[in-house]
Structure 1
Amino acid sequence: METTDTINIKPKTKISSEEIPFYKPIDREVEVFQHAFKNRLPMLLKGPTGTGKTRFVEFMAHQFEQSIITVSCHEETSSTDLIGRYIIKGAETIWVDGPLTNAVKEGAILYLDEIAEARPDVVVAIHSLTDHRKELYIDKLGITVKAHPDFMLVASFNPGYQKGFKELKPSTRQRFVALSFKYPEPKIETEIVQTETGLDKDTSKKLVNIANKIRNLTELGLTETVSTRLLVDAAMLINSGLPKRLSVKVAIVEPLTDDLEITQALTDLCDLMI
């Protein structure tokens, strides 16, 4: 019997006014999302890890007072995980809708985080939801479900991660309205770090300077660079009393690499800048 332990699903939530996600618009992404939602167009968010893609979706869900279901995709995520499956309950076998089916029926925003990591059958399953049909075919039940008028499909992926290995096909990309996310300008990123953590402006600015310095060190060959998320982590540690240099080392340097020489070089650089 199939189990549901191969998929990481965040339950459907509606964010209250006390939990408004802080999001600082970088360009005109809020306007684009508003029009995409109005026209029932699926959206694809492209960009490096930690550039605010997930936070943006949560922010927009709050703006529209919409429930949001988040699925963190990985190499084992299948269409069955999303659509639903039969399970044994007591002495009978019953059908249980998956997160995609629930969102389609109830009119929630379904956010497929890192969709390129999922199995190919996931993309096939959402095809009819990304064109004029706006419907979901459930083959195990032999039925087709028309999408609720408020349903919206949002997916994200990191184009730079394992380039050439985990990529979306051009035919899939063209089914979405796409937005590119990048790291904010220093002034905005400093404001984000301050607002998220309460850290003072001067130290927040130093953390942002460290991030931009490392981001420009392309010769190190890092798989991922310093994300805004890592800066927020470092700022939280500093604000809670952990020494600045140690906070930067454990929250920024160590997550980036296991290479001892690169770790030491980055640690020395950060010690000077902080």
Structure 2
Amino acid sequence: MPAAFSATAADSAAQYLVRAEPWYHPVGDEVAHFEAAAASRMPMMLKGPTGCGKSRFVEYMAWRLGRPLITVACNEDMTAADLVGRFLIDREGTRWQDGPLTLAARIGALCYLDEVVEARQDTVVVIHPLTDHRRVLPLDKKGELVEAHPDFQLVISYNPGYQSLMKDLKPSTRQRFGALDFDYPESAVETAIVAHEGGVSEEVAGRLVQVALRSRNLKGHGLDEGMSTRLLIYAATLIRSGVAPADACRIALVRPLTDDVDMRDALDAAVATFFA
């Protein structure tokens, strides 16, 4: 490998390192299981509802493993070129620009494709050669075959509750990954998380969790999703800033969740039960 490229790769890797330990509360053996998968170069799939901690977990594992983290927020307009790279034209002529997937493969990063099913299936298939024994990425437009760095690992996430026949992973993609299931933590753990991250007392955090549990019971009965742990932290942050708890709940929990007037009234009633 040329010295110039080595220096560039080292600079890129340093740029994407997670330098401070993210606060993560394990809820099972997920840390040990992910470490085992990383050691065996196994691509991993994280499945769970919105705002339950999947992205924080990946950030924590990148820090724990000492590896760079490159995150891609997938969407339906994302093309294969957005992932692997493309030729650009500037004042000096034509040059190649690596995409995030290619860069991660070169420098040995964790490449995290968040909500991968939002991407088109013809885009997702470009990851296939990196997720089996080959561990290579063909750059057809450039005529280059990138061999993945030994530390490279691909991680994808999605919310199974939102999937349909039109938006799901093909079996040929699914069976290239190990998988970890995530869900909202049990009440005591979620209370500890909200108290720590939101900067409020355990008592206030516990009340917020109880409001969330009421909303989660309504999933499939007027709500697509209940209140996430992320939203509870938002509400706690507002309360810590001096916003009245009931107002904080309306702003951070109820209003983002639904526009249905009757459902809002039901959720507001739940808030009033715990924050009169």
TM-score category, normalised to shorter length = over 0.9
Kindly provide the CA deviation profile for residues 43-91 of structure 1, in whole angstroms up to 9, marking residues without a partner as x.
0000110010000000000001111000000101111001000111104
Contact 1:12–1:70 (Cα < 8 Å) also in 2: no
Give the aligned residue type for 1:203.
V
Q: CA deviation at 1:12?
A: 5.2
AA partner of residue 247 (structure 1): A
1:152 aligns with 2:153: yes
Tell me the residue number matched to 1:47: 48
- For the residue of structure 2 that corresponds to 1:74, the secondary structure is coil
Question: Secondary structure of the residue that 1:160 maps to in structure 2?
Answer: helix
> Which shows bigger deviation, 211-220 or 168-177?
211-220
TM-score, length-normalised on structure 2? 0.92
Which residue of 2 is the match for residue 34 of structure 1? 35
Q: In the TM superposition, what is the alpha-carbon distance from 1:271 to its structure 2 partner?
A: 1.2
User: Is 2:122 the counterpart of 1:121?
Assistant: yes
Answer whether contact 2:214 2:270 (CA < 8 A) is retained: no
Corresponding residue SS for 1:164 = coil
Change (3 A) 1:65 1:71: same
TM (normalized to structure 1)? 0.93
Give 1:88-167 correspondences, 5 Å limit.
Answer: 88-167=89-168
Q: Mind listing any 5+ residue stretches in structure 2 that lack a counterpart?
A: 1-13
Equivalent position of 1:22 in the other structure: 23
C-alpha deviations, 1:5-56, integer Å up to 9, x for none? xxxxxx952122xx31111111111011101110001000001100100000
Structure 1 segment 1-274 matched on structure 2, within 5 A = 13-16=16-19, 19-218=20-219, 220-274=221-275
CA distance in 1, matches of 2:262, 2:67: 48
Query: Paired residue for 1:3?
Result: none
Give identity over the alignment, percent: 50
User: Aligned to 1:112, what secondary structure does the other structure show?
Assistant: strand
Structure with greater helix share of residues: 2
Letter in 1 for 2:81: T
Question: Separation in 2 of the partners of 1:186 and 1:227?
Answer: 13
Amino acid at match of 2:206: K
Distance 1:52 1:144 in 2: 35
CA deviations 1:174-215 (Å, max 9, x no partner) are 110001100000000000001112201111000001111110
Segment drifting more, 160-169 vs 80-89: 160-169
CA contact under 8 A between 1:15 and 1:62: conserved in structure 2?
A: yes
Which runs of structure 1 show a deviation greater than 4 angstroms over 4 or more consecutive aligned residues? none
Cα gap change, 1:219 to 1:150, in 2 (>3 Å): closer
In 1: Cα distance, 2:58 partner to 2:269 partner: 37
What is the Cα-based RMSD across aligned positions, in Å?
1.3
SS in 2 for 1:85: strand
